[in-house]
Amino acid sequence: MNSESDVTLSPDTFLMSLGLGSVETELKSVDQRMAIFSLVRELAHARGWIVKEPSASVATSADLPFRIPGTAYTVRLSQPASEEIAALVATAFLLIGDGEVDTQTIAVGAIMALTARIKKLNVDEGERSVIDVLQRLRPPTAAAITLALHGRPCRYPESACRFREPDNGRCAITVTQASATAEALYARNILRHVNAAEPFEYAIVL
C-alpha cells in the first residue's frame, strides 16, 4: 500500500519541498517559477490532492482559493502522485527553461499530453537527450544540438545509447546523427520545423 504525506507548497519553496532542487537552480525568473507553481496547483486541484487551501473561510465557492495566484496550499501525495508532479515539472521546464515561451499559454493538459509522448521516446536512440537540450539552444539546429551533447558525459549512463563512447562514457553524436534524430522526431510530430529551409530549427510540439 502506498503511504501518503502532506506537503505544503508555496511559490518560494515548492520545488525544494517536492525534492526538485535541480530545477530550482535552473530557473531564470519569477515568471518561470510562478508558471510552474500554477501548473502544479492546477494538476493537484484536478486530481483532488489538495487538502488545505488558504482563505477558505472567506471563499464564496469551493474553487475560489484555487483561483488566487501565489498562495500556499497543502497537498496529500502518494509516491505515484509525487512522480506525476515531478514529470509535469520536468516537462514544463523543458518548455519554459529558456525563458522564451509564453507561460500564460501553457495548460496542464497540454503538458501532461507532452509528458506522455516524451516517456515514449527511445533513450537508446538518443531521442531523449535531443529533447532535453533543445529548448535552451539558440538557434535550435542540429549543429547546436551536437555542440550541446558531443564530448559531454552521457545524460543517460544506464542506457544503451548508440552515441555513447564505450571507453569514456561520453557522447559522440555528430551533426549528421543529430539531424537524423531530430528529423525522426519531426516525422512523429514530437518536433516541428520553425523555419522553412535548411538548416532547420526545431521546437517541441505542444
SS3 track for 188-200: CCCEEECCCCCCC
Q: What is the pLDDT of residue 201?
A: 96
Range list for CATH 1.10.10 in the chain: 123-204
Q: What is the pLDDT of residue 27?
A: 83
Q: How far, in Å, are 4, 143, 156, 188 from residue 122 at the CA level?
A: 32, 21, 11, 12
Q: What is the pLDDT of residue 95?
A: 82
Q: Give the domain 123-204 fold.
A: Arc Repressor Mutant, subunit A (1.10.10)
Work out the number of other CB atoms within 10 angstroms of the CB of residue 153.
10
Q: How far, in Å, are 24, 80, 154 from residue 19 at the CA level?
A: 10, 14, 23
Which one is predicted more confidently, 1 or 15?
15
Q: Comparing C-alpha atoms, which of 18, 8, 149 is closest to residue 92?
A: 18
Q: What is the pLDDT of residue 15?
A: 94
Give the cell for residue 58.
472567506
Q: What is the pLDDT of residue 101?
A: 61
